[in-house]
A and B are shown apart, each in its own frame.
Chain A
Amino acid sequence: MSSDTVAIKIDNVSKKFTLQYHRTLKQVAVAAAKGHKVRDTFLALDDVSFEVKQGEAIGLMGLNGSGKSTLLKLVQGVMRPDSGTVRTRGRIAGLIATGAGFHPQLSGRENIYLNAAVFGMSEAETRRKLDSIIDFADIGKHIDSEVGHYSSGMGARLGFAIAIHVDSDIFLADEVLAVGDKPFRQKCMAKIDEIRTSGRTLFYVSHSAASVARMCDRVIVLENGRMGFDGEPEAGIKYLHYDDGDDDPGNDESAMGADI
């Protein structure tokens, strides 16, 4: 389904985080006097480069702390790299962690407008799709109560419902699918399949070997912020040793994807 058009281009991207061990003046002074480190940095991403073609379904895998979320945030544009460049083509939508930036004091309905606006939807477009979004989220009368009172599942449902209604060219997905109940997850998987077959680019972060094998046609494995593997899903899963045993591909639960 992929074409020759580049959808995402990552060139020598590095991202460094600063760890601050001590926050107050007193703590810093004590640590300095004892000769302890006051701060430290670590490279969340270290010189990562790759290209994604339009229509490809990429599975991004790796152990906890390997830089998957950071990379996703760079592609979404929430963060900027310290060095290197990230370039994307077209509109991006998707969810990074559950509840995608909701305002707790606003109702679900108001949050739809706000969230959609951040994704670049106009007022008219949002109004046109409002019913469909509320339908998909299927959280009943809670749509008019404060998002702060939502359960994590309800927040994820609403967030996902908004994200899939954006006419995006690149779709990012991560742990969202792990939070919803089974019928909702099935609905999401059907929707993601639809996105995949419509020629949109999919960027999927997951620990579930089964769901990656089912959905993606290419796997990238990150190891301590570096590219460890880039290629066929099956080989990638083998590379990560996620293929031995306890992750049963026939099991519907694991096929839905776990959180990152």
Chain B
Amino acid sequence: MTPDYASLPLVDPAGESGLVAVARKRYLLRLLVGRELNARYSGSFLGLLWSYFNPLTQLFIYWFVMGKVMGLGHRTEHFAIHVFVGLIGVHFFNETFNASTRSIVRNKAFVKKMALPLEMFPVSSVVVSLFNSAPAVLILSVVCLFAGWTPDWVGMASFLLAVAIMITVATGFGLIFSVANVLFRDIGQLVGILTNFVRFSVPMMYPFSKIAENFPNHIDTYLANPLANVILLMQRAFWVGTTSDPETVLHEDFPHHLMEHGLIALATGLVILVIGQVVFSQLVNKVPERV
């Protein structure tokens, strides 16, 4: 019993909601994230080591098949690194998109019986994916160092900007699709199809110069996609430093005003985030009865 009970305010028992409430309940968020991370490798003998094997084998496959078998490596220096950088970003986005879309439905038991801000679930999916991406970024850094990369300030800034864009875009989409998936279960299927496009909408399997060369009039359209900017910024952070002539590469394989484009992409991401929150708040009342 709270002392001084009468002085407490009468409040809505559903409590506050929204991303602000999630930020305030960090302890609960931490428990939910920890739960996901533990569940992922629990019971497996090698545990966390698996999260290193997966990106390493992918790096090898891309280096061998695309570089050696298909011979794509001749025109783009350190092609495997170029692909790997893209892969990390694309993989992060797709994993988050899939996981957050299913997050509320997966936590049915919780949603039906406990009062907590439901934004908690898509947000924890994003945080979990961030943790899952860390090993791949670590491997990338080591590989790049061996390939002659020296970290630079502009590169680091590019990387941080890329991460910020990615978080806003992924969280925004996560909010919209997690709640939509409760109301229309078809959304889960749709997300599977959408993620197929992501891989090819960013400069990963091809350098940006190919777009500039083949679609000179549509560069702005291409760069309107925040994810394309994310990958370009990540290429700037890691891949450029491994090439023999970074100056030329920067001129040929990147759009002019890369940072400005990145900031515009961040603004786009913030807009997506705001829209996501608005849509979520509109639909969330129907969730406990429909999930």
A186: min CB distance to chain B, Å: 23
Chain B residues with CB below 8 A from A54, complex form: 5-6
B14 within 8 Å of A by Cβ?
yes
Q: How far is the CA of A5 from the CA of B25 in the complex (A)?
A: 29
A48: min CB distance to chain B, Å: 15
Given contacts A75-B13, A101-B109, A114-B32, contact A90 B2 (CB under 8 A): yes
Chain B residues with CB below 8 A from A106, complex form: 35, 38-39
Whether A76 contacts B10 by the Cβ 8 Å rule is no
Q: How far is the CA of A99 from the CA of B185 in the complex (A)?
A: 26
Residue interface bits A129-140, CB-to-B below 8 A is 1, else 0: 000000000000
Interface residues of B in 247-272 (CB under 8 A from A): none
User: Residue on B with the closest CB to A79?
Assistant: B288
Residue interface bits A74-87, CB-to-B below 8 A is 1, else 0: 11111110100111
Whether A76 contacts B115 by the Cβ 8 Å rule is yes
Which of A54, A79, A115 gathers the greatest number of chain B CB atoms within 10 Å? A79
Chain A residues with CB below 8 A from B115, complex form: 76-78, 92, 118
A191: min CB distance to chain B, Å: 14
Chain A residues with CB below 8 A from B42, complex form: 105
Whether B10 contacts A78 by the Cβ 8 Å rule is no
The size bracket of the interface on B is: 35 or more
Whether A87 contacts B10 by the Cβ 8 Å rule is yes
A95: min CB distance to chain B, Å: 8
A39 within 8 Å of B by Cβ?
no
Whether A78 contacts B5 by the Cβ 8 Å rule is no
A167 within 8 Å of B by Cβ?
yes
A117 within 8 Å of B by Cβ?
yes
Interface residues of A in 1-40 (CB under 8 A from B): 3, 5-6, 9, 17-18, 23
B2: min CB distance to chain A, Å: 5
B218: min CB distance to chain A, Å: 35
Chain B residues with CB below 8 A from A91, complex form: 2
User: Residue on A with the closest CB to B288?
Assistant: A79
Whether A5 contacts B2 by the Cβ 8 Å rule is no
Whether B11 contacts A5 by the Cβ 8 Å rule is no
Q: How far is the CA of A91 from the CA of B290 in the complex (A)?
A: 27
A129: min CB distance to chain B, Å: 15
Chain B residues with CB below 8 A from A82, complex form: 285
Q: How far is the CA of A123 from the CA of B26 in the complex (A)?
A: 11
A162: min CB distance to chain B, Å: 11
Interface residues of A in 32-85 (CB under 8 A from B): 54, 73-80, 82, 85
Given contacts A114-B32, A117-B31, A122-B27, contact A96 B5 (CB under 8 A): no
Given contacts A122-B27, A169-B5, contact A92 B13 (CB under 8 A): yes
B210 within 8 Å of A by Cβ?
no
Whether A80 contacts B285 by the Cβ 8 Å rule is yes
B110 within 8 Å of A by Cβ?
yes
B74 within 8 Å of A by Cβ?
no
Chain A residues with CB below 8 A from B220, complex form: none
Which of B15, B42, B110, B114 gathers the greatest number of chain A CB atoms within 10 Å? B114
B86: min CB distance to chain A, Å: 33
Chain A residues with CB below 8 A from B8, complex form: 89-90, 169
Q: Lowest 6 A-B CB distances belong to which pairs?
A: A77-B13, A77-B115, A77-B14, A101-B113, A87-B10, A101-B114
Q: Show 13 residue pairs from A and B whose CB-CB distance is below 8 angstroms, ordered by the A residue.
A: A18-B289, A54-B6, A78-B14, A78-B114, A82-B285, A87-B13, A88-B12, A100-B114, A103-B109, A118-B110, A118-B114, A122-B27, A167-B1
Q: Which residues of B contact A (CB under 8 A)?
A: 1-2, 5-6, 8-15, 25, 27-28, 31-32, 35, 38-39, 42, 107, 109-110, 112-116, 185, 285-286, 288-290
Q: Which residues of A contact B (CB under 8 A)?
A: 3, 5-6, 9, 17-18, 23, 54, 73-80, 82, 85-92, 96-97, 99-106, 110, 113-115, 117-118, 122-123, 167, 169, 198-200
Q: Using A90-B5, A92-B13, A114-B35 as known contacts, list a sample of 5 further A-B pairs with CB atoms less than 8 Å apart, ordered by residue number in A.
A: A9-B10, A80-B285, A82-B285, A91-B2, A198-B1
